[in-house]
Chains A and B, each alone.
Chain A
Amino acid sequence: MSKKSFRQAINEALRQEMRRDPTVILMGEDVAGGRGGSAGTPDAWGGVLGVTKGLYEEFGETRVLDTPITEASYIGAAAGAAVTGLRPVAELMFVDFVGCCLDQIMNQAAKFRYMFGGKARTPLVIRAMYGAGFNAAAQHSQALYPLFTHIPGLKVVIPSSPYEAKGLLISAIRDDDPVIFLENKVMYDVEEEVPDEPYAIPFGEANLTREGDDVTIVAFGRMVGMANEAADRLAKKGIGCTVIDPRTTSPLDSETILDCVADTGRLVIVDESSPRCNMATDIAALVAEEAFDTLRAPIRRVVPPHTPVPFATVLETLYMPSVEKIEAAVTATMNHRVTEKV
C-alpha cells in the first residue's frame, strides 16, 4: 500500500488487468502516442494526460492500439471486438467527443444484449475525461454523464478518488456489459493510499464518505471531495451531514439515498453537469416520489447554470459548484421553516 495519484491508480488498474487477462486491450487516440518521433521512448504521450504511459512498452502494439482521429470507427471497432471475444478499453479522450460516435455506443454496444435475446456479451469499457475547472473551454469541459445514464444498457461509473478509481475500473473491465468510465480531468494529481493488489468495487452500492444526522448530500466524482469539505466545515457549526457518493449513476443505489434521506429529512444534491435532466433532477424526482413524507425541507440542488462552460477563469469558477455553494445550500435547507397552512 502506498500513496498513488488518480492517474497512477487508473494506470495500475489497466496494467494489472492486462497482465491477468490477455484479452484486455487498449485502443484510442494517442494511448501510446508519438511512435517514431524524436522523444526517444516508444510511447511519447501515453494518453493525452499521461494516464496510459508505459503500457505500450509492456504490452506492445498488438494490445495498445493508437487509432486514427475517427471516433465512429474505433469505438465501433471496440464494440465489435467486445462481442467477438476481447475486452477492449477504448479511450475517447474528452467525453465531449462522444457526438462523433454516439450511434456506436447508444444504438450498437448498449443494445446488443437486448437485441440478441440476451445471448451477446459486450465487455467494453469506454474511458473518457469530463468536467470543467481545467480552463479547457466549452468543447472540452462538459460533464455528460446524464447523457449515458439516460441510455438503458450502459453502466456509468464516476470515481471520486484514486482508491475508488482503481477498484471501479477493475470492476468495469471484468464486467460483461458496456461500461462508460468517466474521469474528472482536474483530479489526476489527487493522491491517497491505494492497495498495490488488484481489487474490485461492486457497481450499484453507494459509499458514505461522511455521516451526520441533519442533511444528506449526494455528490458525484470531483464533487464528493467538495461535499466532504463542506461537511467538515458545517460540522464545526454543529450541522451534521451525510455525504453519499453513489459511485455509479447506472445502476443507481436508490436504496441508500432513500434510507439516508429518511434519517436526515433534508437533501442537497451536488452535480456539476448541466442542470436540466441531470442526476440532480433524477434524484430529486426519486426522493419526491418515494420519500416525500420524510422531507422536512425542499430538496436543494447545487448545479451550474444552463450555459456552455465558459472559458474565462473567473466565469468558469463562477459556473462551477463550490464548497461555499454547498455550505450555503445546506444552511438554507437547515433554515427552512414550514409555514402553517390556514
Chain B
Amino acid sequence: MTPDITPITMPKFGLAMTEGKIAGWLVEPGTQVTAGEELVDIETSKITNTFESPVAGLLRRHVAANGEMLPVGALIGIVADAAVADADIDAFITRFQADFAAASDQPDGAEAADEPVMMQVGAHSLRVHDRGAGDGTPLVLIHGFGGDLKNWMLNHAALAHGRRVIAFDLPGHGGSSKDVGPGTLAFFADVTAQLLAHLDLSRVHVMGHSLGGGIALTLARTQPALVASLTLIAPAGLGPQINMDFINGFIEADRVRGVQDVLKYLVHDKALIGRRMADDVLRYKRLDGAEAALRKVAEACFPGGKQGDDLRPVLAAADMPATLIWGQADEILPVAQADGLPGSVTRHILPAIGHMPQLESATAVNEVVEAFIGHEVATA
C-alpha cells in the first residue's frame, strides 16, 4: 500500500451485509475532509447509513458513482495528499481493482459459516445467530414487535468481542415458527429461558428493544438468576402509552407504500426508511401465520390500546444492574416513560433519535453497551 494514498472501500455494516449501493456522495472530489467527516451515504438492504471518512486528507476521486451497487470491500473512493500525482492514483486504482477481483474469486468459507441457524427449542423452531467467543458473560439480544435478529445488524458483530452474543427471532417473527402461544411477555420470556437452557447458558447479559425490553424485564422478574444485567432500549413495560397507529398499521399494511409509511414512525430521520426496508418487512409479513401472530401479540400485550404489563417494580428492586437507552424523538413509546426510575438505573437519552437507536445511532448505542457490560464483567 502506498502510504500517501488511502483507499475508501465499501463498508460492512454488520456481518449480514454483502453489498451496498452508493446512495449519494456528500463530498465532491477536490475537497479537504477531516477524519470522521461524512463522506457518502451507503444504502444496504435494510437501511441507508452515512459512512464517515476514516482519515483526514484530500478526497481525490469518486471511484464508484452514485447508484452503483458494489460488494463489501470494493474501492469506492480515494483520499490522498495533493502532492500525490494523478498517475500514481491511477496506478493504485488499477492495482487495487486487480487484487480485489482476485480475492473475490476465493471461496469465503469462514464467513459463510457465520450465519443464523434453525434450532428446535421445545415446541418452537427458532432462528438463532450465535456469534463471537471468549470468557465474557454472553449477551442475548431480544428484538421488538414485528422485528427480527436483523434489527441488530449494526450492533451484533460490533459487540461480539471477548464474549458470545446471541440474537434470535422470537416465535411469530422473522424465520422462527409462527406459534406465539398466548402472545404474552411471560410467554416470550419463557421461550427465551428455554433457549438459554438449550444453549447451556446459566447467566447472561440481556439487551432488549421495545417489546424485547419488556421481555427482558419479565425474564429478570421470573428468572432473576439468569440475568446478569439489563440493557433496555426504549423498552415496553414502563408506562401504559403506546402508539397504536404504528402497531395496527404494521399489522394491516400489505403493500410497500403502506409499510413504508408505518415504518417512518420508527425513526427520527425519515429518509432512512427505504423501499428495500419495506420489502424486507413484507417478505416476513407475507409468510403464512405472521399476521395472525402479530395480532395475537398485540391483543395480549396492548389490550385496549394500552400496555398491559407494568414492569417498573422490576427496576425498583434495584439489585439488577440496568441501563436505559431512549431516543428523545421516539414516536412509539414516549421518552417520558424513562422518568422516575431508581437512580441506580443509568439513563442515556439520545437527542434527535427515534424508536430504534440501535439502527439510527448504532455507534453511540454500542459504546454505551460496551461500557456498561464491559464494566459489569470487570467488577464481577
Say yes or no: A197 contacts B67, CB within 8 Å. Answer: no
Say yes or no: A202 contacts B65, CB within 8 Å. Answer: no
The smallest C-beta distance from B279 to any residue of chain A, in angstroms, reads 8
Q: Mark B239-266, 1 if CB is under 8 A from A, else 0.
A: 0000000000000001110000000000
Say yes or no: B255 contacts A202, CB within 8 Å. Answer: yes
Partner of A205, one of B65, B66, B255: B255
Say yes or no: B69 contacts A211, CB within 8 Å. Answer: no
**Which residues of chain A have C-beta atoms less than 8 A from B375's C-beta?**
none
A232 at the interface (CB under 8 A from B): yes
Which one, A23-31, A178-186, A233-241, A280-288, is touching chain B? Answer: A233-241
The smallest C-beta distance from B1 to any residue of chain A, in angstroms, reads 25
Chain A at the B interface: SS class: loop
A208 at the interface (CB under 8 A from B): yes
Q: Mark A213-250, 1 if CB is under 8 A from B, else 0.
A: 10000000000000000001001111110000000000
A311 at the interface (CB under 8 A from B): no
Partner of B288, one of A1, A197, A201, A205: A197
Say yes or no: B255 contacts A198, CB within 8 Å. Answer: no
A54 at the interface (CB under 8 A from B): no
A42 at the interface (CB under 8 A from B): no
The smallest C-beta distance from A255 to any residue of chain B, in angstroms, reads 9
Say yes or no: B65 contacts A238, CB within 8 Å. Answer: yes
A212 at the interface (CB under 8 A from B): yes
Say yes or no: B286 contacts A240, CB within 8 Å. Answer: no
A232 to B67, CA, bound (A): 9
A197 to B254, CA, bound (A): 18
Closest A residue to B255 by CB, please name it.
Answer: A205
A295 to B368, CA, bound (A): 51
A200 at the interface (CB under 8 A from B): yes
Say yes or no: B67 contacts A205, CB within 8 Å. Answer: no
Say yes or no: B68 contacts A236, CB within 8 Å. Answer: yes
Say yes or no: A240 contacts B66, CB within 8 Å. Answer: yes
A329 to B172, CA, bound (A): 46
B237 at the interface (CB under 8 A from A): no
**Which residues of chain A have C-beta atoms less than 8 A from B275's C-beta?**
208, 211
Chain B at the A interface: SS class: loop
The smallest C-beta distance from A331 to any residue of chain B, in angstroms, reads 15
Say yes or no: B67 contacts A235, CB within 8 Å. Answer: yes
A239 to B68, CA, bound (A): 9
Partner of B287, one of A198, A213, A238, A239: A198
Say yes or no: B286 contacts A236, CB within 8 Å. Answer: no
Say yes or no: B288 contacts A235, CB within 8 Å. Answer: no
Say yes or no: A167 contacts B67, CB within 8 Å. Answer: no
A40 to B203, CA, bound (A): 56
A254 to B68, CA, bound (A): 27
Say yes or no: A198 contacts B65, CB within 8 Å. Answer: no
B138 at the interface (CB under 8 A from A): no
Say yes or no: A198 contacts B69, CB within 8 Å. Answer: no
Q: Mark B214-258, 1 if CB is under 8 A from A, else 0.
A: 000000000000000000000000000000000000000011100
A292 at the interface (CB under 8 A from B): no
Partner of B65, one of A167, A195, A211, A236: A236
Q: With A202-B255, A205-B255 in contact, do A235 and B287 touch (Cβ < 8 Å)?
A: no
B175 at the interface (CB under 8 A from A): yes
A134 at the interface (CB under 8 A from B): no
**Which residues of chain A have C-beta atoms less than 8 A from B287's C-beta?**
195, 197-199
**Which residues of chain A have C-beta atoms less than 8 A from B68's C-beta?**
232, 235-236
The smallest C-beta distance from A69 to any residue of chain B, in angstroms, reads 36
Partner of B286, one of A200, A207, A212: A200
A238 to B64, CA, bound (A): 9
- Which residues between 143 and 161 of chain A lie within 8 Å of chain B, taking CB atoms? none
**Which residues of chain B have C-beta atoms less than 8 A from A195's C-beta?**
175, 283, 287
**Which residues of chain A have C-beta atoms less than 8 A from B289's C-beta?**
197
**Which residues of chain B have C-beta atoms less than 8 A from A199's C-beta?**
283, 286-288
The smallest C-beta distance from B328 to any residue of chain A, in angstroms, reads 31
A79 to B337, CA, bound (A): 60
A205 to B255, CA, bound (A): 7
- Which residues between 41 and 93 of chain B lie within 8 Å of chain A, taking CB atoms? 65-69
Q: With A199-B286, A211-B275 in contact, do A232 and B254 touch (Cβ < 8 Å)?
A: no
A211 to B67, CA, bound (A): 8
Closest A residue to B178 by CB, please name it.
Answer: A197
**Which residues of chain B have C-beta atoms less than 8 A from A197's C-beta?**
178, 287-289
**Which residues of chain B have C-beta atoms less than 8 A from A201's C-beta?**
286
Partner of A212, one of B67, B279, B283, B288: B67
A236 to B255, CA, bound (A): 31
**Which residues of chain B have C-beta atoms less than 8 A from A240's C-beta?**
66-67
A205 to B279, CA, bound (A): 12
A167 to B286, CA, bound (A): 8
**Which residues of chain B have C-beta atoms less than 8 A from A208's C-beta?**
256, 275
A31 to B296, CA, bound (A): 40
**Which residues of chain B have C-beta atoms less than 8 A from A213's C-beta?**
67
A201 to B254, CA, bound (A): 9
The smallest C-beta distance from A321 to any residue of chain B, in angstroms, reads 22
The smallest C-beta distance from A163 to any residue of chain B, in angstroms, reads 8
Closest A residue to B67 by CB, please name it.
Answer: A240
**Which residues of chain A have C-beta atoms less than 8 A from B67's C-beta?**
212-213, 235, 238-240
Say yes or no: B66 contacts A198, CB within 8 Å. Answer: no
Q: Mark B302-337, 1 if CB is under 8 A from A, else 0.
A: 000000000000000000000000000000000000
Closest A residue to B275 by CB, please name it.
Answer: A208
Say yes or no: A238 contacts B66, CB within 8 Å. Answer: yes
**Which residues of chain B have C-beta atoms less than 8 A from A200's C-beta?**
286, 288
Closest B residue to A239 by CB, please name it.
Answer: B67
**Which residues of chain A have C-beta atoms less than 8 A from B288's C-beta?**
197-200
Point out residues on A near B: beta carbons under 8 Å: 1, 167, 195, 197-202, 205, 207-208, 211-213, 232, 235-240
What are 17 sample pairs from A and B whose C-beta atoms fall under 8 A apart? A1-B175, A167-B286, A195-B283, A195-B287, A197-B178, A197-B289, A198-B288, A199-B286, A199-B288, A202-B254, A205-B255, A211-B275, A212-B67, A232-B68, A235-B68, A238-B67, A240-B67
Smallest CB-CB A-B distances: 6 pairs: A240-B67, A199-B286, A235-B67, A198-B288, A235-B68, A238-B65
| 5 more CB-based (< 8 A) A-B contacts, given A205-B255, A232-B68 | A1-B175, A199-B287, A200-B286, A232-B69, A238-B65
